[in-house]
A and B are shown apart, each in its own frame.
Chain A
């Protein structure tokens, strides 16, 4: 789960990482109240999960209430690369002497944590990596040993961070590492990490991605869930506990297993169609689960055909077939189904579907993935 900047800053604050005084606002009046509280001058920042806010006019400086009103009014509701701004973060404007970059991620290839640190902050790190790769210090951290203050200090020196900022940045790195590990982040990034003229070191931005698998030990994440920007279909799927991702094609997809679901998208694409979604129904494809999956797909008005791709392993084909027949009685579908049923007891499953007497205009059975994809794409194209 990706956090908004303001949530990232609140999360940082839990680990004693210095951030600016500020607050979140959903309306112009709230923005003024937050500004009064944070003390002028303030910065008003659009809260969207996409880069390039500044260039789009989503970050403005305000010296008084009138300026806050003007900017907050412009920014709230603004469309930044398809993301509508629903909230602004209002914080006390910081004096900046220097800008750095710091982040922790998991290096999957090395199976170690990775610190990236640079004295060139405030710009995209990908850009720095291309223009001046030597400006980025990369340090692998053994997850069992953790990051010591000494190694943090060495990294700070290697990154050629100004002498007056070294102690502050090293201490900040240790706290950020703690947030990254104990806080179960996939990514904890500060860009820019600033040095103020008074010598203080401070996180001016926050980019945090949380590991959904760790939610069980973080009740404090519940409030972040509430602001997650999901489309209606994704919300419905989450309520039903289904692994669903909305896409923009016309072939609805249901498959068992993440790999097979991904593969189904690929095959539909290969024969000239476009998938409306990714949906992994998981192991037991019973009537309840199948009904829930069909309801979610059915809520998508762009869907013109539904491709159910099931490979029976331990999940038996006959059970899946019963589930589908039962689900079709419960949900009135907007589009016909093409089913490919293979694996354990597939023959029995196909017989159950054939015996259910469902019209061919509603349900077609195909024996291979490729044939089924072709039929589903053909139907989606016809309408």
Chain B
């Protein structure tokens, strides 16, 4: 088992003929992911190293039975691409595009909620998702992710930051701890999938035995996660929150990472998670060490 994706997931890549789509789409296929189609308007009939390209998501789905979409198109085109995938009945959409305006994200999210409740969006501005050994959609380097073991214990990872996700994958691999699924939800103000969504999935996934959560300053997603953990998550957790030293009013790289009006501080988030029984590390390494202790005691 894994969450959101598995070895049966069939992926189409919107923007496969572009630089990013081609690079990551082919890497995902090399990893073993079933990358079955590409979509670029006006390029139907072409192929990218054997992957057939279609004009529309609808025609790609009809021809290949794709169930998930990987969107690697520029910010201007991303909102329409997400909605096109949803209209074609795609159930899981991963959008890595960085720089989508917040107003567009809010409109897209509200549209999905109202018209396409069966479509789950991951991102925008996220590294993607990997279920080691089964499916890798996005920009994660598959080789740094440890495979889950049949009898476990395995760890699920959910994170707002890309590089910190890799850091966590790598540290777990060095400690020989298997990973069930690693989800990067992205650093934007309106992520399609939240911490809470992922925690709920990990909680009900039999292959996941413990969870690492990596948050950062800005917004209240970590506080909401803490509340959810208190009432719904029984699996042991460790966490790290980036940005303890970030000054107020400055966006720390990610559009969503900003402390404003005294809200969204790292300390507030760490306190909330601590109260929910999560073991909070002061840096990524410490969070993974805490997880290693949890695993050792299982």
Contact = CB atoms under 8 A, between A and B. Distances in A.
Interface size class of chain A, counting residues whose CB lies under 8 Å from the partner chain: 35 or more
B27 A186 contact: no
A266 B243 contact: yes
Contacts of A145: 110
A270 B245 CA distance: 9
Contacts of A255: 163
A144 B216 contact: no
Contacts of A267: 283
Interface string B237-280: 00010111111001111111100010000100000000000000
A258 B163 CA distance: 8
A369 B261 CA distance: 31
Contacts of A245: 247, 250-252
Interface residues of B, number: 61
Interface in A240-263: 243, 245, 247, 255-263
A259 B163 contact: yes
B111 A144 contact: yes
A257 B170 contact: no
Interface stretch (A7-15, A94-102, A209-217): A209-217
Contacts of A256: 163
A111 interface: yes
A139 interface: no
Interface stretch (B4-12, B46-54, B139-147): B139-147
A90 to B, nearest CB: 28
Contacts of A216: 75-76
B292 interface: no
Contacts of B189: 106, 108
Contact of B245 (A143, A186, A269): A269
Given A144-B114, A213-B99, A213-B102, A109 B220 contact: yes
Contacts of A6: none
B163 A108 contact: no
Contacts of A258: 161, 163, 187, 252-254, 257
A211 B258 CA distance: 13
Nearest to B252: A262
Given A311-B170, A313-B140, A370-B285, A211 B253 contact: no
B141 A109 contact: no
B284 interface: yes
A265 B246 contact: yes
Given A213-B101, A259-B187, A343-B144, A368 B245 contact: no
Contacts of B285: 368-370
A278 B159 CA distance: 20
B255 to A, nearest CB: 6
Contacts of B139: 313-314
A266 B163 contact: no
Contact of B163 (A109, A257, A370): A257
Contacts of A342: 167, 170
B132 interface: no
A213 B75 contact: yes
A262 B106 contact: no
B161 A106 contact: no
A259 B99 CA distance: 16
Interface in B162-210: 162-167, 170, 187, 189-190
A108 B243 contact: no
A369 B283 contact: yes
A343 B166 contact: yes
A262 B99 CA distance: 19
Contacts of A184: 101-103
B103 to A, nearest CB: 6
A143 B103 contact: yes
A240 B34 CA distance: 39
A314 B141 contact: yes
Most chain B C-beta atoms within 10 Å of own C-beta, residue among A112, A257, A268: A257
Contacts of B214: 259
Nearest to B283: A267
Contacts of A143: 103, 106-107, 109-110
A111 B196 CA distance: 14
A322 B253 CA distance: 25
Name the residue in A186, A245, A258, A342 with the highest tally of chain B Cβ atoms < 10 Å from its Cβ: A258
Nearest to B244: A266
A214 B101 contact: yes
Contact of B110 (A144, A369, A370): A144
Contacts of B246: 262, 265, 278
A111 B110 contact: yes
Interface string A134-160: 000000001111000000000000000
A106 B253 contact: no
A275 B250 CA distance: 15
Contact of A186 (B102, B104, B170, B217): B102
A260 B256 contact: no
Given A211-B103, A278-B252, A344-B144, A269 B162 contact: no
A163 interface: no
B144 A259 contact: no
Given A216-B76, A343-B170, A270 B110 contact: no
B216 A109 contact: no
Interface in A256-294: 256-263, 265-270, 275, 278, 280
B120 interface: no
A258 B109 CA distance: 24
A222 interface: no
A113 interface: yes
A365 interface: no
Given A112-B106, A211-B101, 13 more contacts: A109-B219, A143-B106, A144-B107, A211-B103, A213-B101, A259-B161, A259-B187, A259-B242, A262-B161, A265-B243, A265-B246, A311-B163, A368-B285
24 contacts: A106-B106, A108-B221, A108-B256, A111-B109, A113-B106, A142-B110, A144-B107, A184-B103, A214-B102, A245-B251, A257-B163, A257-B253, A258-B253, A259-B165, A260-B161, A261-B252, A262-B252, A263-B283, A266-B282, A269-B244, A313-B139, A313-B140, A313-B141, A343-B141
Shortest Cβ-Cβ A-B pairs, 3 listed: A259-B161, A258-B253, A257-B163
